[in-house]
Chain A
Amino acid sequence: MTASSAPAGEFSLESTTAPGRAARDIVFKVLLYASIGLALGTLAALLFDTYQQGAGRLDWSLYEKYPSERISRAGIRSAIFGSLWVVTFTAALALPLGVGTAIYLEEFASRDRWYNRLIELNIQNLAAVPSIVYGILGLAYIARGPLGWGRTLGTASMTLALVVLPTVIIASREAIRAVPPSIRQGALALGATQWQSVWRNVLPGAVPGIATGSILAMSRALGESAPLILLGGLAFVSFNPDPGFGALDDQYTVLPIQIFQYAVNAKTEFHELAAASIMVLLALLLTMNGAAILIRNKFQRKW
């Protein structure tokens, strides 16, 4: 028997569920939209506030001028170049290592060896370690200690490479795992060695996923500041790093740290400069993330 209000014998398509169910549905939707609104609204408010503060200083002088005590001559040129060089060398270190590790773990490591299982377990842990810990590690062993590189751009890149390595490994593993076994079996059945199968078949199929994960890892590296403060980034740098491998020896600064320095400056004019620099950093990050999304959408495979 239903709670229908239609007279007996007449056919009706009116809802026969209890009215409470419809109300709960509406409440749920309202709460859902409210939380999305809150999250986006907060973000929008932050962005708008930053834009208001910094719009006045958002011009090419940011790019052309170095940091300076005089507000009229201050820009973020060294920070922009420093960030780009740091990220470049971080990528050069982290990507081959990360993708190689992922290939090893997915294709060549046999699961019943204890050391392989240990590696797998620890990669997840390492991805969650706060980056300041890597900073301390870098300070102890890379800047000082056995390697003794000092607090240079090379040290920063190496440390950041360690920070993002677990992310690259995890993303690459997912991408390699997404390649169906039938593709591998097809290659092996034609007499290919396992390496040929990986290099010619599996990796090309996994490239979109690896590229997306790598770009996201690099955008994280771009925003890191805590470990770099320990490693010499908190300096007043008014020159660009030498182009090429010479940069590795140079002192440096990066955008997040430069923003911090301007933001805590006593003079309020520098706060506007900081706000403008934030927008530059956000623009860089958005560009990188946008590129990652584009690559993922364009090359997404339907197996």
Chain B
Amino acid sequence: MTESTANPTADSSTLPPPLVTRPVVSATSSGLPDEVGETVIRARDVAVRYGAFTAVRDVSLDFHRSEITALIGPSGCGKSTVLRCFNRMNDLIPGAKVDGEITFHGIDLYGPDADAGEVRRRVGMVFQKPNPFPKSIYENVAFGPRVNGVRKKSELDDVVEQSLRGAALWDEVKDRLKASGLGLSGGQQQRLCIARAIAIEPEVLLMDEPCSALDPIATARIEDLMQEIKARYTIIIVTHNMQQAARVSDRTAFFTTEVNPESDRRTGVLVEYDRTEKMFSSPSDERTENYVTGRFG
């Protein structure tokens, strides 16, 4: 039996109340695990402000081990902003303030016990535009382990090989590890960035529209790669591509923007969060349905 709590949309004169859906355990879902895995990251009532402007609010999500969660929604709804909360990259933006509670295995990510560097080691990130360092392929992948204290060449060699294999890039580059990372094609560069991210063995992998700068074939390879590595990682992916979200993810969270009546600026808000096949076949919220069926966005 499926169950979820959903608040109906209010009339147009007031902002709809925030929506929190509990992830479902479905006995009838096909091919998906019956139990919800351990909750790795939990967000409760998270909002992000840049100065006085609220970029996104009322975000409450749970992310489970070995699942791929997609964050979808129209432009400007704060998906990337929310993603950056989970590895404290918003700290780098002056004036950005994260309200609410985000916990990683129960520990507050923004609390006094959490060191930003350690958080980023456990929660890795792959960016939208591939950003290999201007170094050799080997040095790119070895960068993470090096800054985290690995010195011995033999250990680094092992890590580099394992990571490149894990990113399905080893066979293509094993003869030219000393070549510059910038000499690879776009898809290869993005796989290099993935290898670089998994070299430090994070628990969670955040992917911010990783395929939007790539051609369809490279995109397909990366989607395959995500399925291959998903057992070892918890993946959260922001994507503009709904078909990708439907193909790749176990759960999907849909965001949208609402006009703030006082300031006339748009604030992002979480609308619905559920298992992917439910989101795309019979979503609870009308806005979700409009978006996934292409009526807007």
Contact = CB atoms under 8 A, between A and B. Distances in A.
Interface string B129-166: 10101110000000110111000000000000000000
- Count class of interface residues, chain A: 20 to 34
A186 B124 contact: no
Interface string A55-86: 00000000000000000000000000000000
B133 A187 contact: yes
Which of B89, B117, B197 counts the most A-chain CB atoms under 10 A from its CB?
A: B117
Contacts, number: 66
Contact of B89 (A183, A188, A192, A196): A188
Interface residues of B, number: 26
A155 B167 CA distance: 58
B197 A190 contact: yes
A201 B131 CA distance: 12
13 contacts: A182-B129, A182-B131, A183-B131, A186-B131, A189-B120, A190-B121, A190-B200, A191-B120, A191-B144, A193-B117, A201-B133, A201-B143, A204-B135
Contacts of B124: 189-190
A200 interface: yes
B92 A188 contact: yes
A205 B180 CA distance: 13
Contact of B127 (A110, A182, A191, A201): A182
B11 to A, nearest CB: 43
A204 B134 CA distance: 9
Nearest to A189: B125
Given A191-B200, A192-B117, A200-B143, A110 B131 contact: no
Contact of B87 (A110, A189, A204, A301): A189
Nearest to B118: A191
Given A189-B197, A191-B118, A192-B117, 13 more contacts: A185-B127, A187-B147, A188-B92, A189-B89, A189-B124, A189-B127, A190-B143, A190-B197, A191-B117, A200-B147, A201-B143, A204-B134, A301-B134
Given A110-B94, A185-B89, A200-B147, A190 B120 contact: yes
